[in-house]
Structure 1
Amino acid sequence: MNEGYFYLFPGGGQEHGETIHNALLRECMEEVGEEVEIGELLHIREYIGKNHEHSSFDFHVHQVEYYFVCNLVKEKNNKAPTNPDSHQVGVEWIHINGLLRYRIYPKELRKYIIQHVNHQKSPVYLGDIN
Structure 2
Amino acid sequence: MKNVRVSVRAVCYRDNALLLAEHRDERGLWYILPGGGVQHNETLDQAFDRELLEETGGKAKMGDILFVREVLADRLDTNYLPAHLHQIEMFVEATEFEIVAEPAEFDKDQIGFVWMPLEKLDELLFFPKAMVQSFQNKSFDKIYQGHIR
TM-score, length-normalised on structure 1?
0.83
Partner of 1:128: 147
Choose which of 70, 89, 92 in structure 2 pairs with 1:65: 89
Q: Deviations over 1:61-93 (max 9, x none)?
A: 10100001112343x56x431111122111111
Instruction: Please identify which structure carries the higher helix content.
Output: 1
Select 2:109's aligned residue among 49, 71, 87: 87
Residue 106 of structure 1: CA displacement?
1.2
More strand by share: 2
Provide runs of 4+ in structure 1 moved above 4 Å: none
- The aligned runs of 1:1-130 (5 Å cut-off) are 4-55=28-79, 58-74=82-98, 76=99, 79-115=101-137, 117=138, 120=139, 122-130=141-149
- Deviation for aligned residue 1:13: 1.2
Contiguous gaps of at least 5 residues in structure 2 = 1-23
Q: CA deviation at 1:101?
A: 2.0
Q: Quick check: 2:73–2:85 contact (8 Å CA) kept in 1?
A: yes
Q: Which amino acid aligns with 2:130?
A: E
After TM superposition, the score normalised by the length of structure 2 is: 0.73
Q: RMSD of aligned C-alpha atoms?
A: 2.3
Please, which runs of 5 or more residues in structure 1 have no aligned partner? none
Contact 1:34 1:72 in 2 (8 A): no
> What's the % identity of the aligned pairs?
27
Q: Count residues in correspondence.
A: 125
